[in-house]
Amino acid sequence: MAHEYSVLVHNWISEKVKKTTQDLKKSQEEKDDLQKKFHRGQLEELDDLRKYLTDKIDLDTHKYYPK
């Protein structure tokens, strides 16, 4: 069950990264510096979360997301 849960969490992170990247692009087009910083921070946190999961929880025998 933990393996299945990890897959779901990585899928959720991937969706959040996709949405946040779109939001970042939009804020860059609108030249909204405050929103750009916010979205970059979100992407950094998602990356840190994914790195933690990969290092501490995920099985070494399974690829959870495309790099």
For 24-59, the DSSP string reads HHHHHHTT-HHHHHHHHHHHHHHHHHHHHHHHHTS-
For residue 7, what are its two tokens?
Answer: 């897959």
pLDDT in tens, 6-50: 888 989 999 999 999 999 999 999 999 999 999 999 999 999 999
Contacts of 2 (CB under 8 A, 6+ apart): 57
Q: Are 23 and 39 in contact (CB under 8 A)?
A: yes
Predicted model pTM: 0.84
